[in-house]
C-alpha cells in the first residue's frame, strides 16, 4: 500500500465517481458516489489553536458536536466531514498531535474500501460521517466546540481494488455518533 499525498487526496475530493460495487450479495451500480470528503478544504484553517483541512498526506477533520470529555473518560462523537471511500483506497483515523500531547486520543479506527454513503434512492441516508471514539487520559477536563479539529485521516492506495468492499452495518452514518451495533441484534 502507498500513502496518498495531498495531491491525490485533493483529486479524489474533486471528482464524482461511479463504480460497480457489491452490497450484501446484490450487484448494483452507484452512479453518483461523490467526492472522497465532503465538505472538503484544500486550505489549512486554525480553530482554537488547532488546524483542520488538507495537510501533506492526511486530512484533519472537525467534530460535529459540542462535547465535554471529563478526565479519565471516553465518549463517542462524529465528524462534520462525510466520506465516500473508493474500492481501491482505505483510511485510518489518527490522533492530532496537539491533542495527543495533552493525552487526548481518537481511537485509531479504519475506513474500509467501499465504505460510502448509500444514496437515498437505494434506501440509505446519503451520508457517511465518521463516528469517533475519544479518550481523555489526562487529569484535566477537555471541552470541544462543534467545528474544532479533532483527528486526522490517512488514506492509502490498495495494490488492487477490493473484491469485498464494505457492506456492513455502519454504512450511511448520520451526523450524530452511532453507538456499537452488534451482529444479529
Total number of domains constituting the chain:
1
> ∠ CA(79), CA(136), CA(6), 5° rounding?
40
Is 167 inside a domain boundary? no
Is 171 contained in some domain? no
pLDDT value at 99 more than 60: yes
What's the pTM value of the predicted model, to 2 decimals? 0.85
12 phi and psi angles, rounded to 5 deg: -70, -20
Q: Is residue 66 part of a domain?
A: yes
**Could you give the CA distance from residue 31 to residue 52 in angstroms, rounded to a whole number?**
30
Which is more confident, 144 or 119? 144
How far does Cα 82 stand from its chain's mean position?
Answer: 6
Q: Rounded CA gap, 82 and 117, in Å? A: 8
For 74, the grid coordinates are 471516553
Q: Is residue 175 part of a domain?
A: no
Phi, psi for 122 (deg, rounded to 5): -105, 10
Q: Which residues contact 110 (CB under 8 A, 6 or more apart)?
A: 90, 91, 92, 93
Specify if 93 maps to a domain.
yes
Dist CA 19 CA 141 (whole Å): 45
* Whole-Å CA distances, 145 to 106, 125, 128: 16, 25, 21
By the 8 A CB rule, do 150 and 144 touch?
yes
CATH code of the domain covering residue 69: 2.70.40.10
Query: Which structural domain, as residue segments, surrounds residue 60?
Result: 2-157
Is there a domain that residue 65 lies in? yes
pLDDT for residue 126: 59
Q: Is residue 47 part of a domain?
A: yes
> How does 80-98 read in b/e, with b if 16+ C-beta sit within 10 Å?
bbbbbbbbbbbbebbbbee
pLDDT of residue 30: 39
Q: Where are the alpha helices (DSSP H) in 36-133?
A: 97-100
pLDDT digits (tens, 9 = 90+) for 84-95: 998 899 999 999
Three cell numbers at 149?
A: 479539529
Classify residue 96: in a domain, yes or no. Answer: yes
Q: What is the mean pLDDT of residues 101-125?
A: 77
Q: Distance (Å, rounded) from C-alpha 24 to C-alpha 165?
A: 10
Whether the predicted pLDDT of 22 surpasses 60: no
What are 4's three cell numbers?
A: 496518498
Amino acid at each position: 500500500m502507498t500513502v496518498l499525498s495531498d495531491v491525490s487526496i485533493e483529486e479524489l475530493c474533486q471528482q464524482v465517481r461511479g463504480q460497480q460495487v457489491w452490497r450484501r450479495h446484490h450487484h448494483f451500480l452507484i452512479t453518483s458516489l461523490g467526492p472522497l470528503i465532503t465538505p472538503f478544504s484544500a486550505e489549512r484553517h486554525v480553530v482554537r489553536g488547532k488546524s483542520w483541512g488538507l495537510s501533506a498526506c492526511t486530512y484533519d477533520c472537525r467534530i460535529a458536536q459540542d462535547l465535554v470529555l471529563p478526565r479519565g473518560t471516553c465518549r463517542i462523537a462524529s465528524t462534520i466531514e462525510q466520506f465516500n471511500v473508493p474500492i481501491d483506497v482505505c483510511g485510518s483515523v489518527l490522533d492530532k498531535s496537539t491533542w495527543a500531547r495533552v493525552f487526548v486520543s481518537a481511537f485509531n479506527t479504519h475506513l474500509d474500501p467501499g465504505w460510502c454513503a448509500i444514496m437515498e434512492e437505494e434506501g440509505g441516508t446519503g451520508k457517511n460521517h465518521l463516528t469517533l471514539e475519544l479518550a481523555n487520559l489526562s487529569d484535566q477536563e477537555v471541552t470541544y466546540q462543534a467545528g474544532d479539529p479533532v483527528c486526522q485521516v490517512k488514506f492509502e492506495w490498495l495494490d488492487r481494488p477490493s473484491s469485498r468492499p464494505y457492506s456492513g452495518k455502519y454504512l450511511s452514518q448520520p451526523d450524530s455518533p452511532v453507538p456499537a451495533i452488534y451482529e444479529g441484534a
